Each structure stands twice: as structure tokens, then as C-alpha cells.
């Protein structure tokens, strides 16, 4: 039986991140993907590649989610990426209540590069109070994990473990807190915690640069694996393999950092 995953996320025009990357990741893992676009994002080459951000009307977002939930006989898992505005968060929260999707993976995109700080803070607070409690699993990066955990910064593996525990204590059953190569371990390191099991997950690091779309790929891969029936820890382990492959086979264009490509992954 083909599994179906819904990505509630922004459109990122380059194809290197956002809903475009979610769909490619779902497909790579044998899952049918559908989307509800929350915003349109493009990078401005005349302004240090900052994001140009245009929100989708909340009613249109609700319509898209309704379409996905009713066209398909079921949605096995939902991945939530960039939401961007408090109004978007409100309508997505309402949709989650209405459709009661069985699995929700939250990639908690907090501050979009180039976004005005006060507006970003409002979005961060709404995301934490309205969407985070509805997540089956969340996949914050170092900055997001520190923010959600109420910590100033995370510079060690022990601090990352502590952040994962703190986020779990806010009601999220499964946390995959991401450091990648940023903690200087020589590996791509993340911490998984489900209230009982705490696992440090490491794979060989593929370079040490920021890679556009890596976070989207990881959350989408977790979503696809959960949709297929994997346990959260199994999904996290497989997702790290997918991300490592997407970085290894990544592309480099004119932006000052590489971006992922999922097409080289071979599922074992």
C-alpha cells in the first residue's frame, strides 16, 4: 500500500529547500507527497541572498489542506515546515484539530533570513504555543533547539542532550535535536530523545559548510519513514542516511553555499 505524506511548507523557488525538497525526499523514499503551500520564498541575489517572503492567504492554505485531506483516503503523516506568520499558524493549528492527522513532524523554522525581528518573534512564540504541542516529533537545529529549550546557546553534546530533554518536557513525544558538524566532533551529530531512550546519532560529516535544504530533507525523510511504519528512532537513523547522501551528491550554483540533491540515495 502506497503511503501518503502531506508537506505544509513554503515554496522555495530554487528547488533546494522547502516544499520542493520535501516532495523529492518523499518520492525518493517511496512515499506519495502532496502539499499545502504557506508562503512563496525566493532568494535575492542583490541583497546577500536574503529571503523575499510572500505569505499565502490563510484561507487558501486551509483550502489546500482540506483538498489533501479529502482527495486522498488518508494522510499517513504530515511534515510542517516554514509557516512564517501568526495568521498562518492559526489556520494550520485549526486544520490539525479538524483533520486529526495521525503523525505530525514539525521542522520548527523560527527566524527566516532577512525577516524583521519583531515579526519573527511573534511567529516564534505562536509556533511554540500552538503547533509544537501538536507534534509527534520535532527536528530543531541548534539555534531552534536552544530557543525552544530556553537556553542561551548550545556548544556541547551535553547541552544538546539537555535541550532535547527540555523540549520533550514541553509535551513533544519525540525530539531529534540537530547539530550536524557544528559541535566540532568530526561527525554529523544529532540527539534523539523520546522520554526513555536518549541516543546520540552520528554519521561521518560531509564537509563543514552550511548546506541549503539539509534540514528540510531530514524532517521530510523522518516524515516519510514514519508514514511507512518506522519507529521514531528508526526514522531518525534512516533520515540521517538520506541527508548525508543528499549533501554528498549536492549541487553548487551561484549562492555561497551548496544545496542538497536527493537523487543519489540508495535505500538498503
Whichever domain contains 196, its CATH number is 3.40.1190.20
Q: Rounded CA gap, 136 and 261, in Å? A: 27
Strands 32-44, 4-12: pairing is parallel
Name 18's Cβ contacts closer than 8 Å, sequence gap at least 6.
9, 10, 11, 12, 41, 81, 82, 213, 216
Give the residue carrying C-alpha cell 479538524.
Answer: 98
19 part of a folded domain: yes
C-alpha cell at 241: 542516511
266 part of a folded domain: no
154 part of a folded domain: yes
267 part of a folded domain: no
Number of domains observed in the structure of the chain: 1
Q: Rounded CA gap, 47 and 81, in Å? A: 24
Which domain does 24 fall in, by range?
A: 4-258
263 part of a folded domain: no
pLDDT given for residue 110 in this prediction: 78
Q: Rounded CA gap, 111 and 84, in Å? A: 8
pTM beyond cutoff 0.85:
yes
pLDDT given for residue 124 in this prediction: 87
Strand spans (E) along the chain: 4-12, 32-44, 50-55, 77-80, 104-106, 137-138, 174-180, 187-193, 198-204
The 10s digit of each residue's pLDDT in 166-182 is 999 999 999 999 999 99
Secondary structure class of 169 (helix, strand, coil): coil
The 10s digit of each residue's pLDDT in 65-124 is 999 999 999 999 999 999 999 999 999 999 999 999 999 999 998 765 444 544 567 888
Amino acid at each position: 500500500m502506497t503511503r501518503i505524506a502531506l508537506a505544509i511548507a513554503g515554496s522555495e523557488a530554487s528547488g533546494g529547500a522547502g516544499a520542493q525538497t520535501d516532495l523529492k525526499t518523499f518520492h525518493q523514499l517511496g512515499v506519495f507527497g502532496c502539499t499545502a503551500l504557506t508562503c512563496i520564498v525566493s532568494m535575492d541575489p542583490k541583497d546577500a541572498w536574503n529571503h523575499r517572503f510572500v505569505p499565502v492567504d490563510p484561507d487558501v492554505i486551509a483550502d489546500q489542506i482540506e483538498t489533501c485531506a479529502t482527495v486522498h483516503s488518508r494522510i499517513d503523516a504530515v511534515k510542517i515546515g516554514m509557516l512564517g506568520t501568526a495568521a498562518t499558524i492559526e489556520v494550520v493549528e485549526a486544520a490539525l484539530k479538524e483533520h486529526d492527522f495521525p503523525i505530525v513532524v514539525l521542522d520548527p523554522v523560527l527566524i527566516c533570513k532577512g525577516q524583521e525581528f519583531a515579526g519573527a518573534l511573534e511567529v516564534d512564540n505562536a509556533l511554540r504555543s500552538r503547533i509544537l504541542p501538536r507534534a509527534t516529533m520535532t527536528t530543531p537545529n541548534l539555534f531552534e533547539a536552544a530557543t525552544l529549550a530556553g537556553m542561551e546557546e548550545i556548544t556541547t553534546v551535553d547541552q544538546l542532550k539537555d535541550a532535547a530533554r527540555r523540549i520533550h518536557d514541553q509535551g513533544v513525544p519525540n525530539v531529534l535535536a540537530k547539530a550536524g558538524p557544528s559541535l566540532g566532533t568530526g561527525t554529523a551529530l544529532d540527539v534523539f530523545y523520546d522520554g526513555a531512550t536518549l541516543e546520540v546519532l552520528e554519521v561521518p560529516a560531509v564537509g563543514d559548510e552550511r548546506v541549503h535544504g539539509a534540514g528540510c530533507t531530514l524532517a521530510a525523510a523522518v516524515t516519510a519513514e514514519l508514514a511507512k511504519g518506522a519507529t521514531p528512532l528508526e526514522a531518525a537513523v534512516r533520515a540521517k542516511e538520506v541527508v548525508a547522501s543528499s549533501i554528498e551528491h549536492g549541487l553548487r550554483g551561484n549562492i555561497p553555499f551548496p544545496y542538497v540533491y536527493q537523487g543519489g540515495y540508495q535505500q538498503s
